[in-house]
Amino acid sequence: MSLFDKFATQRALQSALADGGRVPALATPMDVIHSATSATIGGRRMVLAGTNNYLGLTFDDECRAAAIAAIESHGTGTTGSRMASGNYAGHRALEQAMADAFGWPSAIVFSTGYQANLGAISALAGADDFLMVDGDSHASIHDACKLSAATSIRFRHNDPENLDRRLARLGEDAKRTLVVVESLYSTLGDRAPLRAIVEVTKRHGAWLLVDEAHSFGAFGARGTGLCEELGLLDQVDFIVGTFSKSLGGIGGFCVGRHADLELLRLASRPYIFTASPAPAVIAATHQALRRVLRGQDLRERLMAHARRFYAEATRLGYRLGTATPGPVAALVFSEREAAQALWRGLFDAGVYTNLMVPPATPSGLSLVRISLSAAHSNDELSRIIAALAEWAPKLAAAAG
Amino acid sequence: MIQPNTVGLDGDADLAREVGLDSVQVMDMIMEIEDSLDISVPVEVLAQARTVNELRDGIKRLIGSSS
């Protein structure tokens, strides 16, 4: 009898993914980072196409300078919670800037994106309340359901009719229900039917929280996401996002159309019982936010890359997670071995991507997930597409 | 979804170990049951059901409490 007996599934997966001592597909060791789109891995310089660095701001000159200046003036860390000694002027200024970006009265910064969902959702919905979450939600949303004292119910992925039926079953309790969706799903890159979800949610008198982790920075005239792009900001109640994708840092946020969101500072355990983000992270993120808000050039470049990649991958016969081009492009396989072979083939061709396998994926699918960046050069994108072209006939032959 | 050679498993069969369902597949199965019976099964009920019988009992309690 061992505490590790329960990890038989993980042990089998670890063994299946081991590749004879070659660079592993999971937790790939990054040796040297050269830029937002280039790193040395396993002794070779690679194009990075699996980083979520959608705008390429990790190496932005002004963001780096802001981080360095913050270390010089405020030190390396806060060593305290926001409720204690970790409530610096920089944290408060970033929250004000984030609230202003949405035109809403309240914004709360969390130490990670995971904690933003955990902290906002678990505190907003308590005992006697209900959480209604999309079945394909990120782990942070499902974990928030576990932490919350609310009753949690899942509805079918991207299915407003299914949501409608479940809210109808709740009757008057729908008014005590927080509906949670992601605007752009991180595994398949598909978008939520936000207009229909808003309509259903409001018709039942429920509340709506939208996670814009993968769309913040990439969509909307000001870059605040798909709710902005679709003109829905006056109907959504809360938006959660992360600093670790388009903003190039680490941390998360929740903004609210309701000033009472501020009360969560006294109730949200993942907000209270952790140290606040380091000054360098806050300063770089604030600078990145300024760049995002005037970043239409970056968004246009990112979407041009997305349209080109989706067109080429489709032409080559790959099955994509969605037909609508966006910063996430998932090449979908029913067999893990096929995805694993493509991941290795792309790696050997000098392109780093993400391998995603069940149970971390929806519908038992295996994925080679590619994230595009405004920082990719046209030549880098050509190299990614050329590697896919080289592998397309091999995969077709293996599939018979 | 159900793995081969599971016909004949009794109600005490473990959904993960014996029926061979991972957590995502259990969720998919529950959604089918929810639509068939026009009920919503809270996630907390699922978390407590490790066998076919426990799942059945949890759903029976739900239906009973709503009737």
Residue A153 has a pLDDT of 95
Per-residue pLDDT at B48: 78
Alpha-carbon distance of A369 to A333, in angstroms, equals 11
Percent of chain A residues past pLDDT 90, beyond the cut: 91
**pLDDT surpasses 60 at B2:** no
Q: Kindly state the tokens that stand for A353.
A: 């991507």
Burial class (CB in 10 A: 0-12, 13-18, 19+), A2: exposed
Kindly state the tokens that stand for A222. 């000001």
* Range in A115-124, A251-260, B26-35 with the lowest mean pLDDT: B26-35
For residue B14, pLDDT beyond 60: yes
For residues A252 and A216, is the Cβ–Cβ distance under 8 A? no
Q: Which of A146, A162, A364 sits opposite B24 (nearest CB)?
A: A364
Give the full edge-to-edge strand order of the sheet including A177-182: A106-110, A252-256, A238-242, A207-211, A177-182, A130-134, A151-155
C-alpha distances (whole Å) from A9 to each of A16, A119, A253, A312, A399 are 11, 30, 34, 36, 26
SS3 A205: coil
Tens of pLDDT, residues A70-122: 999 999 999 999 999 999 999 999 999 999 999 999 999 999 999 999 999 99
Q: What is the C-alpha separation between A219 and A303, in angstroms, rounded?
A: 9
Closest chain B residue to A165, measured at CA: B38
Contacts of B43 in chain A (CB under 8 A): 142, 145-146, 152-154
Helices then strands, each counted (H, E), chain A? 13, 14
* Per-residue pLDDT band at B67 (split at 50, 70, 90): very low
Give the pLDDT confidence score for residue B31 in this predicted structure: 84
Contact A332, A386 (CB under 8 A): no
Q: Closest CB to B43: pick one of A152, A362, A364.
A: A152
Q: What is the mean pLDDT of residues A332-346?
A: 95
Q: What is the mean pLDDT of residues A248-262?
A: 98
Q: What is the mean pLDDT of residues A145-155?
A: 96
Q: How far apart are CA A107 and CA A126, in angstroms?
A: 20
Q: What is the pLDDT of residues B40-62, one digit of tens each?
A: 888 888 777 888 888 888 888 88
Distance in Å, alpha carbon of A359 to nearest chain B alpha carbon: 7
SS3 A4: coil
Distance from CA of A139 to the nearest CA of B (A): 12
| Minimal CA separation from B55 to chain A, in Å | 16
Express each pLDDT in A157-216 by its tens digit: 999 999 999 999 999 999 999 999 999 999 999 999 999 999 999 999 999 999 999 999
Reported as a pLDDT band with limits 50, 70 and 90, residue A125 is: very high
Say yes or no for a CB contact (<8 Å) between A135 and B31: yes
Query: Chain B contacts of A152, Cβ < 8 Å?
Result: 42-44
- Coil, helix or strand at residue A65: helix
Q: Which residue of B has its CA nearest to A131?
A: B42
Residues of B in contact with A161 (CB under 8 A): none
Mean pLDDT of chain A: 96
